[in-house]
Each structure stands twice: as C-alpha cells, then as structure tokens.
Amino acid sequence: MPEVKSIFREVLPKQGQLSMEDVPTMILCKPKLLPLKSVTLEKLEKMQMEAQEAVKQQELAMKEQLQ
C-alpha cells in the first residue's frame, strides 16, 4: 500500500505541558434478556400448586370417609 503524504505536519510543544482531553463516550452493549418469571417465583408457584393438590386430595378422602 503506498504511503499517503499528509498536508499537516505534527507539531509538539518544546516548552509547557502537552495535554489531551479524554471525553467520555457512550458505549453500546448487547441487550440482556431477562426471564419473564424468576426461578424463585416459579418454585413458589410449583409449591403452591402442590399444596392445593394435597388439600384437594384430603378433601376427597374426607368425603369418602363420611359416605
């Protein structure tokens, strides 16, 4: 690749301080996919369903004993 000659020449100060501003810029990152239900919520719902089924079974057993 041929070198391109620049019109501008780099000039560094011989006295004083050389400073450069670091301007913060926005960085885009990948979106994070979050589950609609948390694992804990799913566990609680499962426990609640199991408890309701156990209550229904107990009620059926009580009805059968009374008859």
Structure pTM?
0.45
| Residue 12: partners with Cβ closer than 8 Å, 6 or more residues away | 18
Express each pLDDT in 20-46 by its tens digit.
777 788 888 888 888 788 889 999 999
| Residue 18: partners with Cβ closer than 8 Å, 6 or more residues away | 12
Cβ–Cβ < 8 Å for 12, 18: yes
Extended strands (E) in the chain: none
